[in-house]
Structure 1
Amino acid sequence: MNHLLSFLVFLPLVAALVIILLPSGFRDRFKHIALGTSLIQFFVSVFIYLNFNNSAAFAGVNKESQFQFVEKMAWIRLDLGSIGKLEIDYLLGIDGFSMPFLVLSSLIMFVATLASWEIKANLKAFFALLLLLNTAVMGVFCALDFFLFYIFYELMLLPLYFLIGMWGGVRREYAAMKFFLYTLFGSVFMLLVIIGLYFSVLNPATGNHTFNMILMMDPGSYLGSSVFSSVAPQSLLGISARLLGFIVLFVAFAIKVPIVPLHTWLPDAHVEAPTPVSIILAGLLLKVGGYGILRICYSIFPDAAIQSAWWIGLIGVVSILYGALNALAQSDLKRLIAYSSVSHMGFVLLGIASGTAEGVSGAVLQMISHGGLSAMLFFLVGMLYNRVHDREIANFRGLALVMPQYTAFVVIAFFASLGLPGFSAFMAEAFSLIGAFTSQEVNGLLPRWMAICGSVGILLSAAYFLWTLQRMYFGQTRLKGGDKWLQQLKDVNTNEKFALVPLAILAVLLGIFPSLVFSKMNASVLAFIQLISG
């Protein structure tokens, strides 16, 4: 069990190398290798979930013992003379925040691999890049050394750029470049903060500067004269260095969430990306942004986070309302779902900004819930597009009569996404709003009007999902393609059911038994609240 996380992270990389080395005559086997890899990952992640000690998770503040399945070894040691020794560790570990994302990531990768059956061109490169992306995502959720985290974080950019740019739609080069530049902008400045943190923190065991994120969360590890010291705060450009560091890191992760106004890459990337990449973008990449805000921004700069809570809550509310209103105005089904993601991820920011146990728990559950639901929605849109190569809402009417099983899955995904009781999004959004509503009494961070405005977002999501359901799936069948489309619109096949059924089950299970997530992260949430409240 000591190397389970390494196995989980690097198994896809080994599979990618196998695919690269296999001759092209085995091209029909590439998808089976990728699918088998994701299945193994899923079973390993479930094993980790079942063996995760709920009570020990994050027990105490800022100690390595908070984390489980820890793997640590010296990785890079370099003598820098008067500066000291460069100390970079291979450090992996999980707590109640990161563990649920491992299960989610393996499930989403399984669904994305099944969706990749539509890919016909250059299969070797596609599946090798898909598996490389798998390694990067898993690594982000497991890394506890900031340098290692940054490597995995940046590694996600390369395969996504090529997966969109080579297998995407008509404007794929534009969408890929826009995504690349947005993400790179945040990452470059993040690197500067990482370097500043490195020279601010000392490892008490070795006396060297370190990238250890656990030590970065401990105010006692900072040098009193360092730029990010909380004991003797310094200023940069007239702003507190710690606040400036928090803002830079927040922007870097907020681009991936994405928040308004840093969201404009998302609709373009989703519309042009092939279905499996859209599934990963919405299901996992957006969650990396939310996870980074929790794990790094708030945990390393809790004082600056509290100072910025009102603004973060406001950004969350604006994202909820702006994303919902834009979704209501869309005519392309994929673009509608992309804007709905902007709205739903706004609840994550609102819950985190509340600084309450209910809000933070709701924010994490919202990320898990939205990961499964957005993957399901994009898979369903991809199924429709693969059959008739059209996504315009106005071109479809009465699909329930033509594809009844497909419509049943759409109804589940739409009702779950709009927050109907009994589904995961209801529990997630309810807890996020409860946290935001009680924040004024508990810690005075957020005014109640933010929770009320967030509630309006739920009404708007019901409007655009139900309106789309009524226009496309009910009534007398009318299709732009006529009889030709009727012949092409086949109902759900076996492979598609294998992808959709687990996602539907996840939406229902987390709606009825949210404790499946809450129980695993409760100790981590309480310690997190203790950390940011001082």
Structure 2
Amino acid sequence: MVNAQLPLLSVLVALPTVGALLLAAVPALRKMGRAVALVVSLLELIVALWVFVGQFDWAAAGSHQLVESWVWIPEMGVSWSLGVNALGAVMVLLAIALVPIVLVAGWDEDADPARDGTYAALVLVLETFMVLIFSAFDVVVFYIAFEAMLIPLYLMIGRFGVGDEATRKAAAMKFLLFSLAGGLVMLGGLVALWAQVPAALHTDSFFRLDTLVTLTADLAPAVQMGVFISFMVAFAIKAPMVPVHTWLPDTAAVARPGTSVLLVGVLDKIGTFGMLALCLSLFPGAAVQAAPVLCVLAVVSVIWGGLAAIGQDDIMRLVSYTSVSHFGFMVLGTFIGTLPAMVGAMFYMVAHGVSIAAMFLLSGWLAQRAGTGDMRRFSGMQRVTPVLAGLWLVSGLASVALPGLSGFVPEYMVLMGTWQKSIPLALFAVTGVVIAAIYLLLPYQRVFTGGPRKETGSLPDLGAREKSVMVPLVAAMFILGIVSAPVISALTPVAEDLLSPMSAVADQAPATSSAVLTEGISK
């Protein structure tokens, strides 16, 4: 752990908040809300690049760096503690990089400047919570941000979504109820931790991650498993895993494309991030015991999400279901218990964030032009909007792991690592690759090939602004696909630190590890 000389992470948390407060307090600024928010988000990106390129030591990527800590609520053991290892750093960078892309992508969404200012302010508030979640070094601070982010997201879905008001509000409420339910279960786990640890150990930094790692090791196995399950419920909903995934397609169908980019591209990664940063580090024994069940559920998500995507008629729901399948790969790589798979799961979080952002934006632009996302209303769009069609195909191929694009290396690493532990499980997971080709190529055939329909035959192709938005996303797909070694090298020490205690537990109880997993899947 390396302490920071300056509160750099706090600056990254505070800067978007300042921008949002300016938009809220100065009516004149609201009329140019997106411009103000864009300036703030670009400034945030510049500061973040300086912090993580110039101040973060990537040679020690496994350690928590830039750590800052102040006593906040000593009676409850809560401190304002921030710090990131390589995984936290790349997720913070991903979140910060996508915000200006989202703002530019939806530049002309609001005819009313006042509404534009409100939506832009909500994006900045959401950016604050994204940075805070991925840099939190105190579990209560993580939980507070985990819950608080629901407020801007609820408004962005319910008030600023697309379609009729009743449908938007219903989807926003479903999203809120699922997320709140998971958060309340997690809160129960936090209370149980406080109650089960002797009062003499209730320090003013009780909920700091490094303190909890030591304290939870002495808890009874039943208590560890109970708190582990409470955390996993919250993170499984957020991930989203089958069967608690149903809120996602409903939300994506009514949310603005930019909202879906931030929700699925970044915020849903809180689920897998929490599994790695909290569940594995605090409860390695419980994670080993629960791994067989979680790996099976992950493969079910891979297959179910892919099959559900094939059956969709709405293009935004299609993209959301593909994400259910991809999150299954991430969860599988997290719990299968091999180094390649865990590194692949972490890499997958970044690669998926880039490709799914492009998929949501391109699909959203197509739906906005036609006034519908119903794929049955389209045909021959590659002749009408050739740039949009080509970029949609490239983004989809990155999403389904075409070699040379961003999704290939992490998906291959997850499958290879799974094969090392359980061949039957790996074979079931591979079927998700075949399904992925179907759910990409069939919609492409339906929407973009053939002869154009009369009602969509004169829709405009992407303009200069929209093309400029796609440039960094497509570039990132190729860079991550071709130059993968730096990302793998940075994430490997993090995975090694997480796997070490899990391996020690598995060695002591071999009956709970790979033999049981393989035997159970075979049966």
Q: 1:151 aligns with which of 144, 151, 154?
A: 144
What is the 5 A alignment of 1:106-145? 106-117=96-107, 118-121=109-112, 122-145=115-138
Which of 38, 41, 59 is the equivalent residue of 1:38? Answer: 41
Among 86, 101, 104, which residue is 1:96 paired with? 86
1:386 is displaced (CA, Å) by 1.8
**CA distance, structure 2, for counterparts of residue 200 and residue 93 of structure 1:** 26
The C-alpha deviation readout for 1:3-35, integer Å capped at 9, x for no partner, is: 221111111100000001111x44342101111
Q: Which runs of 5+ in 1 are unaligned?
A: 59-65, 79-85, 223-228, 235-239, 440-446
The Cα offsets for residues 28-85 of structure 1, whole Å up to 9 and x where unpaired, read as 4210111122222222333333233233233xxxxxxx3111111222234xxxxxxx
Counterpart among 435, 450, 468 of residue 475 in structure 1: 450
Show the counterpart of 2:372: 390
- Structure 1 residues 203 and 139: CA distance shift in structure 2, 3 A: farther
Residue 167 (structure 1) aligned to one of 140, 160, 168: 160
- Matched to 2:369, the amino acid is R
2:182 match? 186
Pairing of 1:15-34 with structure 2 (within 5 A): 15-23=19-27, 25-34=28-37
Q: 1:177 aligns with which of 173, 178, 191?
A: 173
Q: Cα deviations across residues 415-473 of structure 1 (Å, max 9, x unaligned)?
A: 1111110011111110011111112xxxxxxx321111111101101111011112211
Per the alignment, residue 276 of structure 2 pairs with 294
Cα drift, residue 209 of structure 1:
6.5
1:129 partner amino acid: L
Moved more, 46-55 or 248-257: 46-55
Question: For structure 1, which segment, 209-218 or 257-266, has the greater mean C-alpha deviation from structure 2 after superposition?
Answer: 209-218
How far 1:189 moved relative to its partner? 1.5
Matched AA of 2:74: R
* Per-residue deviation, 1:231: 3.9
Give the aligned partner of residue 443 of structure 1: none
Aligned-residue identity in percent: 34
In structure 2, the CA distance between the partners of 1:533 and 1:203, relative to structure 1 (3 Å rule), is farther
Deviation string, structure 1 residues 507-529 (Cα, Å, up to 9, x no partner): 11111111232122221111111
Relative to 1, partners in 2 of residues 1:27 and 1:146: Cα closer, same or farther, differing over 3 Å? same
Residue number in structure 1 paired with 2:245? 263
CA contact (8 A) 1:55 1:523 kept: no
Q: Which amino acid aligns with 1:198?
A: W
Q: CA deviation at 1:474?
A: 2.0
Rate the CA distance shift 1:232–1:175 in 2: closer, same or farther, 3 A. closer
User: What is the CA–CA distance in structure 2 between the aligned matches of 1:274 and 1:207, rounded to whole Å?
Assistant: 44
Instruction: Report the Cα offset of residue 199 of structure 1.
Output: 4.3
CA distance in 1, matches of 2:204, 2:390: 59
Map residues 128-527 of structure 1 onto 2, 5 A cutoff: 128-168=121-161, 169-170=163-164, 171-200=167-196, 207=203, 210-218=206-214, 222=215, 230-231=217-218, 233=220, 240-439=222-421, 447-479=422-454, 481=455, 485-487=456-458, 489-527=459-497
| Residues 361, 391 of structure 1: alpha-carbon distance in 2 compared, 3 angstrom cutoff | same
Cα distance in 1 between the residues matched to 2:352 and 2:200: 40
The residue type paired with residue 210 of structure 1 is F
Aligned residues: 493
Q: Give the partner amino acid of 1:119.
A: D
Q: Does the C-alpha gap of structure 1 residues 201 and 110 become closer, same or farther in structure 2, counting only changes over 3 Å?
A: farther
CA offsets 1:243-271 (integer angstroms, 9 cap, x no match): 11111110101101000000000000000
The residue aligned with 1:237 is none
Change in CA separation of 1:207 and 1:279 when aligned onto 2, cut-off 3 Å: closer
Shift of 1:125: 2.2
Structure with the higher helix share, 1 or 2: 2
**Structure 2: 5+ residue runs without aligned partners?**
505-523
Counterpart Cα distance in 2 of 1:469 and 1:208: 56
1:124-173 Cα offsets, whole Å, 9 max, x none, are 32222221111011100001111111111111111111111111232011
| Secondary structure of 1:71 counterpart | strand
Aligned to 2:67: 70
Q: TM-score, normalised by structure 2?
A: 0.91
Describe the shift of the 1:5–1:209 C-alpha distance in structure 2 as closer, same or farther (beyond 3 A): closer
Give the drift of 1:292: 0.7
Secondary structure of the structure 1 residue equivalent to 2:67: strand
SS of equivalent to 1:491: coil
Q: Which amino acid aligns with 2:296?
A: L
Contact 2:190 2:227 (8 Å CA) reproduced: no
Q: Normalization by structure 1: what TM-score?
A: 0.89
Indicate the SS of the match to 2:372.
coil
Contact 1:72/1:89, CA 8 A, preserved across alignment:
yes
Report the Cα offset of residue 197 of structure 1. Answer: 2.1
**C-alpha distance in structure 1 between counterparts of 2:197 and 2:106, whole Å:** 44
Which residue type is aligned with residue 497 of structure 1?
Answer: K
Contact 2:71 2:80 in 1 (8 A): yes
When structure 1 is superposed on structure 2, of 240-249 and 174-183 the one drifting more is 240-249
Q: Per-residue deviation at 1:213?
A: 1.4
Helix, strand or coil: the match of 2:74?
strand
CA distance in 2, matches of 1:394, 1:46: 44
How many angstroms does 1:206 deviate by?
Answer: 8.8
Aligned to 1:83: none
* Residue aligned with 2:470, SS: helix
Aligned to 1:81: none
Could you tell me whether the CA contact under 8 Å between 1:197 and 1:216 is conserved in 2? no
Two-structure CA RMSD over aligned residues (Å): 1.9
Q: Which aligned runs of 4 or more in structure 1 are off by greater than 4 angstroms?
A: 199-209
Cα distance in 2 for partners of 1:296, 1:207 equals 20
Determine helix, strand or coil for the equivalent of 1:75: strand
* Structure 2 counterpart of 1:33, one-letter code: V
Q: Distance in 2 between the 1:167 and 1:311 partners?
A: 39
Q: Is the 8 A contact 2:22 2:29 kept in 1?
A: no
CA, structure 1 residues 324+232, in 2 after alignment: closer, same or farther (shift >3 Å)?
A: closer
Distance 1:39 1:391 in 2: 31
Checking the alignment, whether the CA contact within 8 Å between 1:197 and 1:211 is kept in structure 2 is no
- Cα 1:232–1:281 change in 2 (3 A) is closer
Q: 1:119 to 1:198 in 2, by over 3 A?
A: farther
* Cα separation, partners in 2 of 1:328 and 1:504, compared to 1, 3 Å: same
